[in-house]
Chains A and B, each alone.
Chain A
Amino acid sequence: MTKQIKQLDRVIIRFAGDSGDGMQLTGDRFTSQSAAFGNDLATFPNFPAEIRAPQGTLPGVSSFQVHFADHDILTPGDRPDVLVAMNPAALRANVGDLPRGAQIIVDTHDFTKRNLAKAGYTVSPLEDDSLAEFAVHRVDLTGMTVEAVQEFGLSRKDASRAKNMFALGLLSWMYGRPTETTEAFLSKRFAKVPAIRDANITAFRTGWNFGETTEAFAVQYEIKPAPMAPGTYRNITGNLALAYGLVAGGVTSGLPLFLGTYPITPASDILHELSKHKAFGVTTFQAEDEISGIGAAIGASFVGNLGITSTSGPGIALKSESIGLAVMTELPLVVVNVQRGGPSTGLPTKTEQSDLLQALFGRNGEAPVPVIAPSSPGDCFDAALEAVRIAVTYRTPVMLLSDGYLANGSEPWRIPEVADLPAIDPAFATTPNHEVEGGEPDFWPYLRDAETLARPWAVPGTPGLEHRIGGLEKGDGHGNISYDPANHEFMVSTRAAKIAAIADSLPPLEVDDPTAADGDGAKVLVIGWGSTYGPIGAGVRRVRRVGGKVAQVHLRHINPLPKELGEILSRYDKILVPEMNSGQLRMLLRAEFLVDAIGYNQVNGMPIKAADLAEAIGDLVASTERSHP
C-alpha cells in the first residue's frame, strides 16, 4: 500500500517497559540512528534504582525518552508524542505524561489478566475508553517476534527477548531512521552467539517490514536533519564526556591521572570509562570506601599525579574532611559529584541540584573550594578540562557538579580539535625558593606565586625540596606548624583570596539579551547553573516566540562567581532563578549581591519541564512590564 508521508519539525518518543525489557538499549539505538541521520537530539533515560524490580510492576518500569528535531533543541522534551509500552505497568506509569492526541503503541501480548492486575488495572485499558483521547496501536510485538525468529531454534523466552528490536524496527520505519548502525551494532554485540545475533537482526528487520506493510500504520513521518555548525559529531552522554575531559586534561597537562573512587550511582560509569584508559597513564583505584578513594587521590597528587575522585552526594559527605585536607595542603584535586536526589540515600537514579551549598560550604572551618558545573552532556567535557586547569594552576581541590540528568542524558557533541585544547602547565618546583640565614638555599612550601597565590608543587624525588605538609595550620611561607593567631587569620584570608583570584582568569560572562543592543533590553533576567541550562533556554525561547522580552545568563563558575555578575544583576528589575532544589543559588545571589531574586524550584527528582518554566517566565515578564513600563 502507499503510505502517506508527513513532515514534522520535532518528535518526542518514550520507550517504556520492564527493567529487563531492554528499553535503555532500544532508546540508545534509536538515538544513535537519529544522530547518524543528522537530527539534533536530547535524551532522558529514567530507570529505577532496583536492578530487577518484580517483573510487570510499576516500580520495575524503565523508560528512555528521545527528542529529535530538524532544528537546535535544548531538552529531551516535556511530553512524549509517542509512547511505546511493552506491558500494562509501562502504560500506566507513563500515560499521565502524554498530551491529548499522542500515539501509543502497546504490546498486546503482555496485557494478560495477571499483568493487568500487577499494574493495578481491574479492566484492561485497551477494552474501556480510558485511552480514547489517544491514538492507540495494538500490536502483538512479542507474538510476531517469536514467530519471526523461529528458525534460529531459540527457547521461547530467548526468542521473545528480541521484541525490543522488533519495536525499534517499527519505530525506525515510522520515522525513516537509517538502519545500518543498528545492524552493525547487533552484529558486533552478539558476534559470539550467532543465533541471538540473527534473531535480533531479524526481529529488527521484521519490525521495519511490518510498519511498511501493515494497514495499522498509515503514516510515515519525516524529520529533516538539523543545520549544525561544521564539524565532526558524535552522540555522547555526560558521564562519558566528563571522563573524556579528564583524560584530555591528563594529556594537556602531561600529568598521569589517578582516580581513587568507590562505586556509587550515578557516578560509577566514570570509573568504568577511566579504567579502560590505562594506556593514557590513567590509574583507577577502586577503594574500600569513599574516604579511601579521595585519600589515595590526595596521596597521588602529593607525588605528582593529578588526583581525581568521583562520587555522588552521599560520598561527598564522607569525603568532606579529606577535601578540607586538600584545601589545607593546597594540592590539586578534582572532586566530581554527579548529584542525585537526597538527603541520605535519597533517589539514587533521579536527578537533583541539591548539593550546591554542600559543595560551597560543606566542610569544617573556612575551606573555600572552586565550584564549577557543566550545562549539558557534551559540556561535561569542557567543564572537566576547566576543573583540571583550576586544580593544577591554583593547587586546590575543585568541585565539579554534574547530575544524574547530565550523566545519563545524551546529545550530539561536536568533537573538538585536540590541537585547540589549551595546555595546562603543572609548573613543578625543582629548585629552592628561599635562603636561610647565612645564604643557604632552602625550600618553603608555602611561599606563593604573586599572581595566582598558588603555592609551589614540589614532588618527592626532587632533591633539596624535602618538606612536610599536613592538616594543621601552616605558617605563612615556611609551612611549619603554626598556632600563631595572626598567622591563622592571614592564612584563612589568603586561602580565600587565592580562590577569589581565579575569577581573574575567567572569560567575560555572556548575557543572552537579544534586544539589549537596541536599547530595549529585557527587564527580567533568568539565571541558572548546571543542567537546567536546557529547560531554561527552551523556556526563554518560548517566551520570546510570543513576543516576551527576557534575558538569560548561565553560570559555569559558582565559586568564584564571575566578576561582572553583580553589575549584570543590577541591570534587571527581576531576577528569576530556576533550580532543581529549594533555592540554593538564589540564597547565594541574595547573600552576595543583596538582590531580591525569585526562585522557580522543583525537587521531584525530574528535570524541569520547559513548558512549565516558560509559563512562569512569561507571567513574570508580563507582570514586570506592567509594573515597570
Chain B
Amino acid sequence: MSTPAHTDLPMPQDLPMPQSGTAFVPTNDEAQTAKEYTSDQEVRWCPGCGDYAVLKAVQSFLPTLGLRRENIVFVSGIGCSSRFPYYLDTYGMHSIHGRAPAIATGIATAREDLSVFVVTGDGDALSIGGNHLIHALRRNVNMTILLFNNRIYGLTKGQYSPTSETGKVTKSTPMGSVDHPFNPVSLALGAEATFVARTIDSDRKHLTAVLEAAAAHRGTSLVEIYQNCPIFNDGAFDAIKGPDKADAVIPLIHGEPITYGALLEDGRGSKAVVRDNGGVRIAPTLDVDPGDVLVHDAQDPDPSTAFAISRLTDAGYLNQTPIGIFRQVERATYDDQARAQLATARGGVSDADPQARLAALIGGGDTWTVI
C-alpha cells in the first residue's frame, strides 16, 4: 500500500471571475467547522482509500465557503466515491449510475440559491455517464464536478475502467485490456468546459486550492482528482507522489512559464514546455530561449493550447502529467440563461394573479358559448 505523500505543488491561482459560482447562495456569517459538515454515518471505504483524504479535505473546505449549509447539495452516481454524500451533513442524493450530472442540471437550473456539487468516478462519469458529462460541460451548468479517477472499477471488484491503460490485466482482461483510455482533462476541454483542473488526493493544500477556485467559478467546473485505490490499482499514481515527483508533475500556474524537473540555479525547472508544430513538447530548459517557454494562460478563450498541454499526460502508466488549472474562462451558464428567460417572460405579464392568467390561457383561441 502506498502512503499518501504531499507533493508540495505550487498553488494554482484563483482568477477573479465577474460573478462567483455561489453569487446567489445565502451566506452564513458565523464560523463553521468541519464537524458540522460531518454526518453521523460511518464511513465505509477500504482502509487506505484515497477517498478518505478527499472527504477530509472537502469537510474542511466547505465551512470556508461561508454558505448556509442547508443550501449546499451533493449529488453522486454509483461507485465507491459516490457514497460521498452520505458522509456530509448537507442535502444530498446518491443517485444511479452515471446520471448525477443530469440530476444536478435539474437542481442547478431549478434553484439559483443552491451550491451544487457532483461526486463521480472514472467509470461513473466516463463510461455509463459519459454523455451526461460532456453535455453538462458544453451547457456550462453552474456546478462543481469532482471526478475521482483511480483508473479502475473498485465497487465491482477490479475490472478495467475507461481511464485504465491499454494492456492492463484485470479480472475482466486476463490477457490485457485492448481499450484505449480517455484522458478526462482532454475530454473536458474538447467539450469546451469552462473550468478544467487536475489535482491529487494526497495533496490536501493543492486539492483545497483547486476546490476553492472550482466552487468560485460560475459554470461547470470539472476537477479530476487522481485517487489511489489500494485494493485494485495500488500505486497507480506513485510516480507523481514519490521521490522523483519533481520529474513527473508539470505544474500549471496561470501567467507563469511552464517548467518542471530538478531546479536550475535560476529557480526554473530543468525541463520546459514549448510550442511545437501546433502542439507542445518538452525540451531541456537550457536548450530553449527563455522567451520560447510556454506561459500558461488558463484564460485563453481558445482551448487548443490547454488541450495540447493535457496531451502531456501519459496514456499508459502515469510517469508524467500536468497538474493544476488548465482552463478557467467566462461563458454564460445554461441555468442563468434559462432563469433569465423565465424572468423575461414573467416581466411581460401585467397581471400577477396566476389563476386569472390560467383562465386566460385555457380560454384562449376560438371559443363558443352554449347557453
Contact = CB atoms under 8 A, between A and B. Distances in A.
Contact of B95 (A230, A297, A325): A325
Contacts of A472: 94
Contact of B358 (A278, A280, A289): A280
A343 interface: no
Secondary structure of the A side of the interface? mixed
Given A251-B358, A292-B135, A472-B94, A32 B110 contact: no
A288 B139 CA distance: 10
Contacts of A32: 366
A248 interface: yes
A234 B70 contact: no
A432 interface: no
Contacts of A468: 39, 85-86, 88, 91-94
A548 interface: no
Contacts of A298: 95, 103, 106
Contact of A460 (B71, B103, B135, B371): B71
Nearest to B139: A288
Contacts of B344: 278
B348 interface: yes
Contacts of B359: 417-418
Contact of A299 (B72, B104, B131, B355): B104
Contacts of B106: 258, 260, 285, 295-303, 305, 307
A306 to B, nearest CB: 10
A47 B356 CA distance: 37
Contact of A466 (B91, B110, B113, B356): B91
A449 B362 CA distance: 35
Contacts of B362: 244, 248, 381, 415-416, 418
Contacts of B70: 460-466
Interface string A413-441: 00111110000000000000000000000
Contacts of A480: 41, 86
B110 A292 contact: no
- Among A38, A228, A300: residue with most chain B CB under 10 A: A300
Q: Which of A232, A292, A322, A325 has most chain B Cβ within 10 Å? A: A292
B341 interface: yes
Contacts of B218: none
A299 B342 contact: no
Interface string A201-245: 000000000000000000000000000111111110000000010
B109 A233 contact: no
A519 to B, nearest CB: 36
A471 interface: yes
B205 interface: no
Contacts of B358: 247-248, 251, 280, 418
A229 B370 contact: yes
Q: Which of B73, B105, B348, B370 has the most CB atoms of chain A within a 10 A radius of its CB?
A: B370
Contacts of B68: 461, 463
A36 B370 CA distance: 11
Interface in B102-128: 102-107, 109-111, 113-114
A287 interface: yes
A251 B362 CA distance: 12
Contact of A292 (B73, B86, B99, B338): B99
A304 interface: yes
Given A232-B363, A247-B358, A304-B110, A295 B370 contact: no
Contact of A296 (B39, B105, B365): B105
A232 B368 contact: yes
B165 interface: no
A256 B69 contact: no
A481 interface: yes
Nearest to B111: A303
A523 to B, nearest CB: 37
Interface string A302-324: 11110100000000000001101
Contact of B102 (A281, A295, A302): A295
B71 A461 contact: yes
Contacts of A244: 361-362
A573 B366 CA distance: 47
A295 B128 CA distance: 14
Contacts of A293: 102
B361 to A, nearest CB: 7
B132 interface: yes
A296 B95 CA distance: 12
B16 interface: no
A303 B114 contact: yes
Size class of the contact patch on chain A: 35 or more
From B358, B362, B371, name the one whose CB has the most chain A CB atoms within 10 angstroms.
B362
Contacts of A36: 366, 368
A153 interface: no
B103 to A, nearest CB: 4
B75 interface: yes
B354 interface: yes
Contacts of A464: 70
Interface in B319-352: 338, 341-342, 344-346, 348-349
B345 A278 contact: yes
B238 interface: no
Contacts of A228: 370
B357 interface: yes
A277 B342 CA distance: 9
B367 A230 contact: no
Nearest to B72: A460
A299 B110 contact: yes
A450 interface: no
B156 interface: no
B304 interface: no
Nearest to B78: A471
B224 interface: no
A295 B366 contact: no
Contacts of A467: 91-92
A247 B361 contact: yes
A181 interface: yes
A301 B366 CA distance: 35
B369 interface: yes
Contacts of B7: none
A181 B367 CA distance: 11
A291 B107 contact: no
A371 interface: no
Nearest to B134: A288
B283 interface: no
B96 interface: yes
B363 A287 contact: no
A579 to B, nearest CB: 31
A279 interface: yes
Contacts of B342: 278-279, 281-283
B363 A461 contact: no
Interface in A241-288: 244, 247-248, 251, 256, 258, 260, 277-283, 285, 287-288
A470 to B, nearest CB: 3
B114 A321 contact: no
Interface in B58-72: 68-72
Given A244-B362, A291-B102, A233 B367 contact: yes
20 contacts: A231-B370, A233-B367, A233-B368, A247-B361, A277-B361, A279-B348, A279-B357, A280-B361, A283-B342, A287-B105, A288-B131, A296-B103, A300-B106, A302-B93, A303-B107, A305-B110, A468-B91, A468-B92, A470-B95, A472-B94
Given A232-B369, A279-B345, A283-B110, 4 more contacts: A303-B106, A321-B96, A460-B73, A460-B107
Closest 6 CB pairs of A and B: A470-B94, A299-B106, A295-B102, A296-B106, A278-B345, A299-B103
